[in-house]
Amino acid sequence: MLSKKMEAALNEQIKVEADSSQVYLSMASWAEIKGLEGIAQFMYKHSDEERAHMLKLVKYVNERGGHAKISALKDPKTEFGTFQKMFEELYQHEIFVSNSINELVHVSLGEKDYATHNFLQWYVAEQIEEEALARSILDKIKLIGNDKGGLYLFDRDIQQINVESAASPNMGM
């Protein structure tokens, strides 16, 4: 059985993951209308992944005798300026999510809830991968600079990342 404090903290994370899904969906839509097809596909997939992260938490909270609360979401931004800035925002967002997961781990230890602590290790590992992925993309973007041919290849290559999965820290890039 979850403590009230643990349940509330997990419910906060449900909101964070759902908001993340909305943020990346908004990025996908922006990229799509800018003709950045590969980037759009990458962001649609990322949005789906965040929804999966949210659902995993919902199931866990209910399984442990809590009540996963589904709440209203924040309006995400709809304009991102440049794709470079958009990926920088993605990276910063993942750092925010990592901090949020770390706080949850902290609460689980305080509550001596070792089952939840164990459950959260999946998220800890996932955040390492997501941050590494975002950093490798930003490195690639820096290499491209303002080269149009480079952007063309980047937009094409980033679709491969979707296929290969984000499981490897090198992402084939």
DSSP string, 118-165: HHHHHHHHHHHHHHHHHHHHHHHHHHHTT-HHHHHHHHHHHHHHHHH-
> CB nearest ligand FEO: which residue?
53
- Min. distance of Cβ 24 from ligand FEO in angstroms? 8
Q: Using the rule CB under 6 A, which residue among 19, 94, 113, 155 binds ligand FEO?
A: 94
Using rule CB under 6 A, residue 97 touches ligand FEO: yes
Check: CB of residue 53 under 8 Å from CB of residue 123: yes
Using rule CB under 6 A, residue 20 touches ligand FEO: yes
Cβ-based nearer residue to ligand FEO, 103 or 147: 103
Interaction pattern, residues 107-146, with ligand FEO; x per rule: CB under 6 A: -----------------------x----------------
DSSP string, 61-114: HHHTT--PPP---PPPPS--SSHHHHHHHHHHHHHHHHHHHHHHHHHHHHTT-H
Q: Which of 82, 77, 100, 79 is nearest to 138 (CA)?
A: 82
Cβ-based nearer residue to ligand FEO, 105 or 153: 105
Using rule CB under 6 A, residue 43 touches ligand FEO: no
For ligand FEO, the binding residues (CB under 6 A) are: 17, 20, 50, 53, 94, 97, 130
